[in-house]
Structure 1
Amino acid sequence: MPLASVSRPASMREHAYTALRDAIVTGGLEPGARLRDAELEEWLGVSRTPIREAIARLEQAGLVRTRRAKATEVAPLDEREAFAAQRIAAALHELAMRDGALQLTSEDLSEMTSANRAFAEALDARDVDGALRADDAFHAVAVRASANPLLPGLLESVTPLLRRLERARFGSLDGRNSVAAHAEIIRRCSAGDAAGAAEAVRENWLTLERLLAR
């Protein structure tokens, strides 16, 4: 398993999950790749227990599957599942903005503007990972402002599956459409239009299916 070494956070369980999730989402672990405990232990530097816990979470998220004889492998990219995850993510982010828009401070709006600038720069540089990080940072502001403790966990259960598919979108100039969409969301938030901002967020998250259908 020729993957780069990874740094370890305090929680070995979270470390194993994050490293495997990111490797699958970015393509470091390709669809069909076998996930063998011994190899993962050597790569991640953790014991089998957190690895198995991480794989269980990844299986629930649709990124991993267990075949006959308990062989575990990276799941194929299923566009129908990804689009289903996209609709859930759109609804959750719409809820976050509807609840959080009126709680946003000037510092929050500045953070969103900076994230959108970084997003645009990453797209110009064809930096897919950077674009996804900036997009996440942009939308995370409203999630945080909503103060809904369930939203982060719910989003984590659907976003990785969607992000696998989104890499194709941000690898093209079509991703530039989201820069303007982000700017419109910021404008509506600044105007105190929570309902309009929520609707704009929902539309922003639903663009991927239309882009890939073309």
Structure 2
Amino acid sequence: MPVPSTSLPPRGLLRDEVRTRLRDAIVDGTLAPGEQLRDVELATWLGVSRTPVREALLDLARSGLVLALPGRSTVVAPVDDDKVRDAAAVVAAMHRVAVVEATPRFTDDDIDRMRQANDAFLAAHDAGDTSAALAADHAFHAVAVDRADNEAVRTVLALYGPVLERAERLRFASNDATASAARHAELIRHCAARDAQAAAAVAEGLWLDLLTDTTQETP
């Protein structure tokens, strides 16, 4: 799909905001694998100068969503099973750290937020709304990441998490989402019991499941 021809209203977006816009467009398929990314077109679309676009593309290249071809062009990277597996292993480890650190600090409100996010996840899946299911899943895992308040974990997840989002989008569009919701419920039980190690094992396993998924089916 080509870059939309209509411009968004001009805004003084920071590089991180531009990166988020471009990342989301890649993840949701607005910018398809193999599509050429021209910084002039993207800057016009986003209503910004070329500088934050170039910086954002460099960040996205480091995370594996963008492929810079020397002397040729910059394109949306294809979904690479090896990169998805590598990212899943790293992201799983970070979520394990987050849950271990967060569990002793959880409040009853935190546990309620996890339950509400899981309920929203199931409702979105039942309604066939993959985007809402992804948002609810992110909200679910964000409870532990926020409570852990570990900047290193946040940095690594921001870098490698988007690589998984395209794979997650396929998984959440399938019946596997029901199994994920059941694992979420198991994680909630361990967190409510303040059993950090049991909770961490479940959290890590949720992300490692993507390693198995990508060996069976290409997103």
Is 4-13 or 117-126 further displaced after alignment? 4-13
Q: State how far apart, in whole Å, the 2-side matches of 1:42 and 1:48 are.
A: 8
Amino acid in structure 2 at the alignment position of 1:202:
E
Structure 1 residue corresponding to 2:71, chosen from 57, 69, 72: 69
Aligned pairs for 1:55-134 within 5 A: 55-134=57-136
TM-score (norm 2): 0.92
Query: Against the structure 1 CA distance between its residues 48 and 9, is the aligned structure 2 distance closer, same or farther, given a 3 Å change threshold?
Result: closer
Query: Against the structure 1 CA distance between its residues 8 and 84, is the aligned structure 2 distance closer, same or farther, given a 3 Å change threshold?
Result: farther
2:67 aligns to what SS in structure 1? strand
2:151 aligns to what SS in structure 1? coil
The Cα shift of 1:26 comes to 0.9
The Cα shift of 1:14 comes to 1.7
Q: State how far apart, in whole Å, the 1-side matches of 2:148 and 2:14 are.
A: 29
Q: State how far apart, in whole Å, the 1-side matches of 2:131 and 2:80 are.
A: 21
Q: State how far apart, in whole Å, the 2-side matches of 1:3 and 1:200 are.
A: 45
What percentage of residue pairs aligned between the two structures are identical? 43
Contact kept? 2:84, 2:211, Cα under 8 Å:
no
Which blocks of at least 5 consecutive residues in structure 1 are unaligned?
A: none
Query: Against the structure 1 CA distance between its residues 132 and 7, is the aligned structure 2 distance closer, same or farther, given a 3 Å change threshold?
Result: farther
Q: Which residue of 1 aligns with 2:179?
A: 177
Q: Kindly provide the CA deviation profile for residues 130-177 of structure 1, in whole angstroms up to 9, marking residues without a partner as x.
A: 111111110111111112122111101111001111111111111110
Q: State how far apart, in whole Å, the 1-side matches of 2:5 and 2:139 are.
A: 26
Which blocks of at least 5 consecutive residues in structure 2 are unaligned?
A: none
The Cα shift of 1:68 comes to 3.4
Contact kept? 1:174, 1:211, Cα under 8 Å:
no
Query: Against the structure 1 CA distance between its residues 115 and 8, is the aligned structure 2 distance closer, same or farther, given a 3 Å change threshold?
Result: farther
Amino acid in structure 2 at the alignment position of 1:139:
H
Q: State how far apart, in whole Å, the 2-side matches of 1:101 and 1:49 are.
A: 41
Is 50-59 or 202-211 further displaced after alignment? 202-211
TM-score (norm 1): 0.94
Contact kept? 1:34, 1:72, Cα under 8 Å:
yes
The Cα shift of 1:77 comes to 0.7
Q: Which residue of 2 aligns with 1:21?
A: 23
Q: Kindly provide the CA deviation profile for residues 24-66 of structure 1, in whole angstroms up to 9, marking residues without a partner as x.
A: 0111101111111111111000001100110000000001111
Q: How many residues align?
A: 214
Contact kept? 2:81, 2:215, Cα under 8 Å:
no
Amino acid in structure 1 at the alignment position of 2:68:
T
The Cα shift of 1:69 comes to 2.0
1:73 aligns to what SS in structure 2? strand
Contact kept? 2:63, 2:159, Cα under 8 Å:
yes
Q: State how far apart, in whole Å, the 1-side matches of 2:186 and 2:41 are.
A: 47
Query: Against the structure 1 CA distance between its residues 9 and 177, is the aligned structure 2 distance closer, same or farther, given a 3 Å change threshold?
Result: farther
Q: State how far apart, in whole Å, the 1-side matches of 2:10 and 2:112 are.
A: 31
The Cα shift of 1:192 comes to 1.4
Q: Kindly provide the CA deviation profile for residues 163-205 of structure 1, in whole angstroms up to 9, marking residues without a partner as x.
A: 1111111111111101010101110111111110000101111
CA-atom RMSD in angstroms: 1.7
